[in-house]
Structure 1
Amino acid sequence: MARTSSRRRAAKLMAKPSGSTMVKGSPDDRISSLPNDILVNILDRLDVRTATRTSVLSRRWSQLPAMVPRLTISARDLLPSETKTSISKVEIVRRATAAVAKDPANAALSKAALVRRTSAAVAKALADAAAVAKAVANTAVAKVIKSILARRDPGGWPIRLSMTFYLRDGVPISVGHTVGNAMATLKVEKAEFTVLTEKEGRKCSIDDVVNYGTRFVSFFNECHNAFAGLTRLYLENLRFRESNFVSNILVTCKQLNYLGFYNCDTEDSVTLRVEHAQLIELSIVDCRFDMVKLTWVPKLTWLVFLFWLTSREPPLALGYVPLLEVLRLSNTARSLDKMLKLSTFLHETSVRDLTLGFQCEKVSCGFIALFWFHLFSTHPIMCLLQIWVQPECLTRRQAYVFQQLRILNLVKIPEGYDLTWTMFFLEAAPSLEELYMTVLDHPCEMQMNQEIRREQLYSENKGVEWESPTSNFKHHCLAKFILVGFQAKDYMVSHVRRVLKAAVNLKDVYLYDRLVCAKCQEKVKIARRYDALVRGMCPGVNLPIKFPYTNEDQRAVQKRMPRGIGSLAKIHFLPSNQIRAEHRIAVDSLGAIED
């Protein structure tokens, strides 16, 4: 937020002056009288497009953009807005619709068939227009990078490079050669590549990701010098034909501090062994590696591993990761899948910030299912979530892995599940200071038909049975408890009471209403109109007896909680649209709120 406001102030300062103010020696031309280092600092706060426009002001100004300490350029930012294009989306839709209507071949079609053909034509026209826009933006990225770096003084200050571009045409190789040359001739402090694909993950077919994978391999092989100096690399939607290619990336990119994979895999099942001296952050999301073994990553502090598709325990083995502090794990597990014992999984680590996502029940993407099971079917695979973490009665030696845990975030626990099992974490982590829980059902992604549920062997909603081995357990460090998706139902009220009783130094309890995802917004509007029909089917449709909005209802709930406990914690009841910024960051960490 601070960076955005500083950019706005800088943009105002750099607004194009009138002719009178640009007269040399004019007292109004105060900005040109500033020394170069201050002007460069101002330009550094602007986006690349605005900064480069100042080059037309004078010869002096033309040299300044090449002196900025950071060059951050993204093809996304260079995509033309609708107001600057020769044809709007509305016009594209109108032309595509008119073309279908005029085609004599469509005259005999039924109304339904004509609608389908029109929709397909409109979708193709919009996709083609988007592809052209991305190509133009991509080309602009290559030109700007080459222009600015070519004018930079080799003996000047170090520069930090951050490039975001699409994996298409010859642009990636052009960018790679430019950055590689810069690394050889300039002082490059950091270099980042974010490599995007034209299609988003869920829209990619198998042919698409194979094609993207082939393009990236060509790019990588042509630009070894650039990749050897990268400090950050993000890749998405790639399938590699060579099983050892991911290992080649790790071997070549020796300077990486961050490596991110989204929706990537290899054609053959492969165990990815990660050995890297500099890697600090690793993110693997929706990937289908048979196993990931972090054999030796001595500087790793932050790890994200989301959504594995296997009936065994997570295909992730933590080897030598002595500095690992932040861990994000999430999965959509079925009732037949094995449960994970965290004491074994986290053995010899000292995690301080742990997020576990349970993804509520959902229909997984058909494409992802195809990738893993190698099935050629258009039907998505239905999964029912079960709680995939096994609560344990820990010995002193086993409990060691939780001794450093300060923040725990449990995301997307399905509604209706008994929450007693989560007390396991309080007993296992004596130093825990903040506990976040998000309880959420997601009807727009769930199978609601009871017959289909029975046919496909969906199990009943039930939590994990667990009984504390310690009577009258007390926790002395927990200061904040945040529960998102609270309802005034017995099982939730009982759980809050349970936490209040155990956490003797608890200061604040925040109880938020249910979250509403973007997909469910329209359902919520309908539900509020016709609540007798669909009330309770969508997140955010709350009956008064579910979330206590009124002061009277809140007092009634509070009386059910601390009675006989003596807790001094302050209980806050808040609607989800008033969620505090620091709480939203935790809740959003695994996409609990879909934008």
Structure 2
Amino acid sequence: MKLNRVRRRRRDLQKAAAVNRDRLSELPNDLLLNILERVGTLDAVRTCILSKQMWKLPTMLSQIVIDLSNRDLARMNRVLADVMNKIFSTRSSQITIRKLKVRFVLVPNHCRSIGKSVGLAMATQKLDAAEFEIVTLKNYLYCTHADFLNYGKQFSMFVTDCPDAFAGLTRLQLQNLRFGESDIPNILSTCKLLESLSFSECDAGIRSVLHVEHARLVELDITYGEFKTVELDCLPKLQRMTYDNWPCDENPLVLGFVPQLSKLSLANAGLSHKTIMISQLLANVPDVSDLYLDFRSEKIWIRPECPRVLAPVLSQLRFVNLDSLPEECDIAWTMFLLEAAPSIEDLCVTVWDHKCGSESQKSRSKKTDVKWEPSAPKFKHKNLAKLTIYGFQSDGNFMGYIRRVMEAAVRIKEVSLHNRKVCKLCADRFPHIEVRPSTYPRSCEEKESLRKKITEASVVMASPAVIHFRS
């Protein structure tokens, strides 16, 4: 009897083992690779270590993405270099790498190892797109002048030591670097295939002038830094440009030969006295179709201009987003853009006193209403289909503005009205600042009443159905 029980127990264990066998490794390689490429490369490597049948799969991946958090990067930078070296030194040259993205810390020895591995891959493998995102050991808030200079020198040496890696990059993201006078031109000339470049807290010295020339660059993103002016001298393929927080009273951006530029994003708190004239900024760029302007809840830093002056440079403009206008400012001034740009289809206006972005500034600028000449009474806009307002309040400022837009926009299809945006940090960081009571309608009755007030007071027969309260 005891022997029979032992035999039955053994059979039961064998059946359980058969049911719980490693079914993952039994899948075909193409399916396994499809699964592994949906997670980060390091997770894929860890998964493959568990099975002998899967050991070689990391060398067959067509996407290699190592995008760790800052905490993980600090302790795994050396491991990252070793993993990349093993993958690239053993993979077949017949397998195309569709995407390579590596985020790593600027530590000279580790960087050099990563650069050599990537350079070898670029020389021996088929590679469609490659991206470096390079972070520094210190956050920019804790960087001294010496730190910025040191990081800039380390990166320039990295480029010099690993030219093959940088020659094949298509995207490059950098932060917290202060370069020498010739460093940025040298980097751009080395990165011949570069299509996207991002600078965060990078410059070539306080009040330096950045000249950018590149044959293939499609996207340029500059955030902070101490440039006096950024001059885009010759970028024949540039389509998207973002510039956040310029520090000086000079013209922050000079657009030279950028014939394909279609999307322009500018953000600044407007703490200086300098205002920007769009007619001058876009004088050489008549094909911008998407314009984003962020005022950081501070002063309006663009100057309303005569529609006749603006019309030649805004003829192709289709999408306009005016973000973080201060709440005490009359928003009617934004009509000058509609008058000058007959092709606008979508206009979004956000009114928001975002304390994290404004009250935290040491130097506060005086917020005043923008002086502008009201539009002609019979002005009509034939293409605007959608108006979106964040921060809507049921007062004369907003009500009058919506009526004016609806009277002008003869083909308006949708007016979306949202309540104020909410930032959870604002109340914690600035508890002493009084918040204006919201007059956004809550009940269905209040919303219906406002719809009728807007449309009944309009000189055109606009349907209340186009007005939507979204929050």
What is the TM-score when the length of structure 2 is the normalising length? 0.89
Closer, same or farther: CA 66–496 of 1 in aligned 2, 3 Å: same
Q: How far has the Cα of 1:228 moved from its partner?
A: 1.1
* Distance in 2 between residues matched to 1:215 and 1:564, nearest whole Å: 65
- Specify the SS of the correspondent of 1:264: strand
Structure 2 CA distance for partners of 1:21 and 1:65, relative to 1, 3 Å: farther
Counterpart CA distance in 2 for 1:39 and 1:19 is 27
In structure 1, distance between residues paired with 2:383 and 2:324: 25
State the shift of 1:67 in Å: 0.6
Corresponding residue of 2:462: 567
2:338 is matched with which residue? 426
2:99 to 157, 160, 171: 160
Partner of 1:245: 183
Structure 2 vs 1, CA of residues 64 and 420 (structure 1 numbering), >3 Å: closer, same or farther? same
Deviation at 1:249, TM superposition (A): 0.9
User: Using a 3 Å threshold, how does the CA distance of structure 1 residues 20 and 476 change in structure 2: closer, same or farther?
Assistant: farther
Counterpart secondary structure, 1:143: helix
CA gap of 1:160–1:458, structure 2 versus 1, over 3 A, is closer
The one-letter code sitting in structure 2 at the alignment partner of 1:439 is V
Give the aligned partner of residue 196 of structure 2. 258
Q: 1:347: which partner in 2? A: 283
1:320 maps to a residue whose letter is F
How far apart in 1 are the matches of 2:96 and 2:51?
23
Question: Within the alignment, does 1:175 sit opposite 2:108 as a pair?
Answer: no
> 1:245, 1:516 → 2: CA distance?
42
Deviations 1:149-181 (A, max 9, x none): 122012333442110011125211111111011
The one-letter code of the counterpart of 2:75 is V
**Aligned letter for 1:344?**
Q
Alignment match, 1:117 = none
1:554, distance to aligned residue in structure 2 (A): 2.1
- Shift, 1:571, TM fit: 1.7
SS of residue paired to 1:318? strand
Deviations 1:223-248 (A, max 9, x none): 111111111100001112x2121111
Counterpart contact for 1:21–1:29, Cα < 8 Å: no
**Mapped pair 1:38 → 2:28:** no
Match of 1:126 in 2: none
Contact 2:220–2:241 under 8 Å retained in 1: yes
Give the superposition deviation at 1:312.
2.8
- Match of 1:515? 421
Offset at residue 284 of structure 1 (A): 0.8
Q: Distance in 1 between matches of 2:318 and 2:15?
A: 60
Q: What is the rounded CA distance, in whole Å, between the counterparts of 1:49 and 1:145 in structure 2? A: 10
Shift of the 27–492 alpha-carbon distance from structure 1 to 2, 3 Å rule, reads closer
What's the counterpart of residue 551 of structure 1?
444
Name the structure 1 match of 2:301: 388
| Partner in structure 2 of residue 74 of structure 1 | 67
2:262 corresponds to: 325
Does residue 214 (structure 1) correspond to residue 127 (structure 2)? The answer is no
Post-superposition shift, 1:274? 1.5
SS in 1 for 2:189: helix
Aligned partners of 1:20, 1:173: CA distance in 2, in Å?
Answer: 52
Matched, 1:54 2:22: no
Query: What are the equivalent positions in structure 2 for 1:486-505 lying under 5 Å apart?
Result: 486-505=392-411
Secondary structure of the residue aligned to 2:42 is helix
SS of the aligned residue for 1:514 comes to coil
Question: Over aligned residues, Cα RMSD in angstroms?
Answer: 2.7
State whether residues 22 and 29 of structure 1, in contact with CA within 8 Å, keep that contact through their aligned partners in structure 2. Answer: no
Does the CA-based 8 Å contact 1:183-1:229 persist in structure 2? yes
Alignment of 1:3-22 (within 5 A): none
Task: Confirm whether residue 475 of structure 1 aligns to residue 381 of structure 2.
Answer: yes
* Cα pair distance change 1:63/1:439, threshold 3 Å: same
Instruction: Give the residue type in structure 2 aligned to 1:404.
Output: Q
Asked whether the 8 Å contact 1:347–1:401 carries over to 2, the reply is yes
Deviations 1:318-346 (A, max 9, x none): 11111111110112223622x22212211
Structure 1 gap segments, 5+ residues each: 1-17, 81-133, 362-384, 527-533, 576-595
Cα 1:558–1:519 change in 2 (3 A) is: same
Cα offsets for 1:233-291 (capped at 9, x unmatched): 00001112x21211111111110010000011123643322111110100011022232
8 Å Cα contact 2:336/2:375 also seen in 1 = no
**Using the alignment, how far apart are the partners of 2:231 and 2:14 within structure 1?**
64
Alpha-carbon offset, residue 142 of structure 1: 1.0
SS of 2:348's equivalent?
A: strand
Q: Which whole-Å deviations, capped at 9, do the CAs of 1:344-397 have from their partners, x for residues lacking one?
A: 211232111110111123xxxxxxxxxxxxxxxxxxxxxxx2x111111132x7
- The structure 2 residue matched to 1:296, chosen from 212, 221, 234, is 234
Deviation at 1:202, TM superposition (A): 2.6
Cα contact 1:393–1:469 (8 A) shared by 2: no
TM-score (norm 1): 0.71
One-letter code aligned to 1:284:
I
Residues 21, 344 of structure 1: alpha-carbon distance in 2 compared, 3 angstrom cutoff: farther
Query: Does structure 1 residue 307 correspond to structure 2 residue 202?
Result: no
**Are the counterparts in 2 of residues 352 and 406 from structure 1 also a CA contact under 8 Å?**
yes
Match of 2:261, as an amino acid?
L
Shift of 1:22: 8.1
Shift of 1:402: 1.2
- Of residues 352-361 and 154-163 in structure 1, the stretch that sits farther from structure 2 once superposed is 154-163
Report if aligned partners of 2:249, 2:272 keep a CA contact under 8 Å in 1. no
Supply the distance in 2 between the matched residues of 1:145 and 1:199 (Cα, whole angstroms).
Answer: 24
Distance 1:177 1:416 in 2: 56
SS in 2 for 1:188: coil
Q: Distance in 2 between matches of 1:142 and 1:457?
A: 46
CA distance in 2, matches of 1:567, 1:317: 42
Q: How far 1:144 moved relative to its partner?
A: 1.6
C-alpha distance in 1, partners of 2:237/2:150? 34
Distance, in Å, in 2 between the alignment partners of 1:245 and 1:523 is 39
SS of the aligned residue for 2:55 comes to helix
Taking a change above 3 Å as real, the CA distance of residues 257 and 356 of structure 1, as seen in their structure-2 partners, is same
Secondary structure at the residue paired with 1:562?
helix
Query: Would you say the 8 A contact 1:549–1:573 is kept in 2?
Result: no
- 2: CA distance between counterparts of 1:171 and 1:521? 42
Measured after TM superposition, the shift of residue 468 of structure 1 is 3.6
Measured after TM superposition, the shift of residue 54 of structure 1 is 3.3
Which consecutive aligned stretches of 4+ in structure 1 deviate over 6 angstroms post-superposition?
18-23, 26-29
Q: Tell me which amino acid in the other structure corresponds to 2:280.
A: T
**CA displacement at 1:437 relative to structure 2:** 0.8
Structure-2 change in CA distance of 1:513 and 1:174 (3 Å): same
Q: 1:457 to 1:514 in 2, by over 3 A?
A: closer
Question: What residue is the counterpart of 2:10 in the other structure?
Answer: none
Partner of 1:226 in structure 2?
Answer: 165
